[in-house]
Amino acid sequence: MSTVKANTVTAATTNGNVSIVGNGTGKVTLGDGNLIFPDADGSADQLIKTDGSGNLSFVDAAGGKVIQIVTATTATAVSSSSTTRVDTTLTASITPANSANKILVIISQHCSAGGGRAVGDIILMRDSTDLINYSQQANVDDGMGNYFFQYLDSPSTTSSTTYKTQQKRVDQVGIFRTQRTDTSGQAYSYITLTELDYS
């Protein structure tokens, strides 16, 4: 960007490309407005920001940039006939690059009820900590399908962090299942962890 500074301001076109030479002040007049270019080159991955008055500067990208994505799946059938919590076998681990970053957790969990009506809970956990309980799933006998959940987490760490789901039956007398398997086919559940830059 510093190459804009020169003795005069000129603009010329060659094959549709515009070449602009500055006047030594960093200011270039374009139509009715002025652009004040930064005095120094920016760093890699930085953006150019305007203050609304034509002054441009290099800035770091705002929070929300994707740092990494981790995915996992399971096809292991798990059944619950009581309120005792058990792992659904859906799990994935991620190591955040910065403790200020957030993890967007997206889950597609296959749930079903069999042998009568069954209501089940799906609990999202970070390591041994409960994050949220997605309650009241698959209430109808033989009702089944993939249920979609999402959660934006702030783990505040740069250590390896594991996300997983647990399940339990909470109502009715049937069996609550995840990843149901029978003669008609195999069901799958999926988890995606996306680290977002909030540093």
DSSP state of 140: S
- CA dist 92 and 147 (Å) reads 18
- CA dist 138 and 119 (Å) reads 6
Are 199 and 101 a contacting pair, CB within 8 Å?
Answer: yes
Half-sphere exposure of 45 (CA within 13 A, CB side): 7
Q: By three-state DSSP, how is residue 2 classified? A: helix
Chain centroid, CA 49 distance in Å: 25
Are 24 and 3 a contacting pair, CB within 8 Å?
Answer: no
Q: Is residue 4 very low, low, confident or very high in pLDDT (cuts 50, 70, 90)?
A: very low
Average pLDDT of the chain to the nearest whole number:
82
What's the whole-number mean pLDDT along residues 16-23? 54
Q: By three-state DSSP, how is residue 3 classified? A: helix
What's the whole-number mean pLDDT along residues 5-9? 45
Take residue 135 and report the two structure tokens written for it.
């309650």
- CA dist 123 and 144 (Å) reads 18
- CA dist 110 and 125 (Å) reads 17
Question: 137-164 b/e with 16+ CB inside 10 Å = b?
Answer: bbbeeeebeebebeeebebeeeeebebb
Locate tokens 């659904």: which residue?
Answer: 88
The yes-or-no verdict on residue 129 having pLDDT over 90 is yes
What's the whole-number mean pLDDT along residues 104-120? 91
Q: Is residue 189 very low, low, confident or very high in pLDDT (cuts 50, 70, 90)?
A: very high
- CA dist 156 and 195 (Å) reads 12
- What domains does the chain contain, in order, with CATH numbers? 2-59 (no CATH), 65-197 (2.60.120.760)
Q: By three-state DSSP, how is residue 4 classified? A: helix
pLDDT at position 149:
94
The yes-or-no verdict on residue 96 having pLDDT over 70 is yes
Are 139 and 119 a contacting pair, CB within 8 Å?
Answer: yes
- The reply to whether the predicted model has a pTM over 0.85 is no
